[in-house]
Amino acid sequence: MDPRIRQALTERLARLGLNAEALEGGKGGEALANLMMSRMGRKQAPAAAGIASKSAGAKTGISLDKGWHGVHYLLSGAAEPSATALGQAVMGGTDIGEDFGGYGEARYFTPEQVAATARELGRANLETEMKARFDPALMTSAGIYPGGWDATGADWLFEEFRKLRDFYADASAQGLAVVTCIL
């Protein structure tokens, strides 16, 4: 991660009462879960909800790199998020914190939302639907980042999609929440 963005994220987490180094080391998840629950109007996170951590054996994060918008488009058929699980998987969730980097706030998904998203991402016919949506000219005209789409982009986007699918499946299998951010 770019050091400037890492510093900005660390500072914003600190203003929220969270320690980024502790979270990265697999600690402080309860404080993050409680913050998330308070944003949803609940008093405290249930102990079983969990937060992804190295100690829990979960993958602690993934990066879709510049493929995030293309994957979102192939999942949803739209440039912007929608209310469906597939329309939320990349660009959705509940806002938490401040905008840092120009792509919006960090967002989170409850364990229940993670499970629903994992089910949708794991559907047997989903890749076929996504392949039908891959249209370089349409994606370019719709302003799908990073632009310059051609036929060679499909393989790359499907690799990124599979990372996303596997990440949600792992988090769901462990009953974990997910925090996302587009930098």
Kindly report the CATH number assigned to the domain that includes residue 74: 3.40.1760
Does residue 14 belong to any structural domain of this protein?
A: yes
Sign of CA dihedral 19, 25, 27, 32: positive
Does residue 181 belong to any structural domain of this protein?
A: no
**pLDDT score for 53:** 38
Contacts of 90 (CB under 8 A, 6+ apart): 64, 68, 69, 71, 72, 75, 81, 164, 180, 182
Please state, in angstroms and rounded to a whole number, the distance separating the CA atoms of residues 28 and 14: 12
Among 39-53, 92-106, 120-134, 159-173, which is the least confidently predicted range? Answer: 39-53
Does residue 167 belong to any structural domain of this protein?
A: yes
**pLDDT score for 160:** 97
DSSP state of 40: T
Please state, in angstroms and rounded to a whole number, the distance separating the CA atoms of residues 66 and 73: 13
CA–CA distance from 156 to each of 59, 80, 138 (Å)? Answer: 21, 21, 18
Please state, in angstroms and rounded to a whole number, the distance separating the CA atoms of residues 169 and 161: 12
Does residue 143 belong to any structural domain of this protein?
A: yes
Contacts of 143 (CB under 8 A, 6+ apart): 79
State yes or no: pLDDT of 52 exceeds 60.
Answer: no
**Average per-residue pLDDT in the chain?**
82
Does residue 180 belong to any structural domain of this protein?
A: no
87 in Cβ contact with 117 (< 8 Å): no
Which domain range does residue 83 map to? 3-174
Q: How confident is the model at residue 106 (pLDDT cuts 50, 70, 90)?
A: confident
Q: How many domains does the chain have?
A: 1
Sign of CA dihedral 22, 28, 33, 35: negative
Comparison of pLDDT for 49 and 163, the residue scoring more: 163
Comparison of pLDDT for 121 and 17, the residue scoring more: 121
Does residue 101 belong to any structural domain of this protein?
A: yes
Among 22-26, 46-50, 151-155, 177-181, which is the least confidently predicted range? Answer: 46-50
Nearest to 130 by CA among 107, 153, 103: 153
Q: Give me the mean pLDDT over the 24-46 stretch.
A: 60
Does residue 182 belong to any structural domain of this protein?
A: no
Does residue 92 belong to any structural domain of this protein?
A: yes
**pLDDT score for 116:** 97
Count of helices and strands (H, E) across the chain? 9, 3
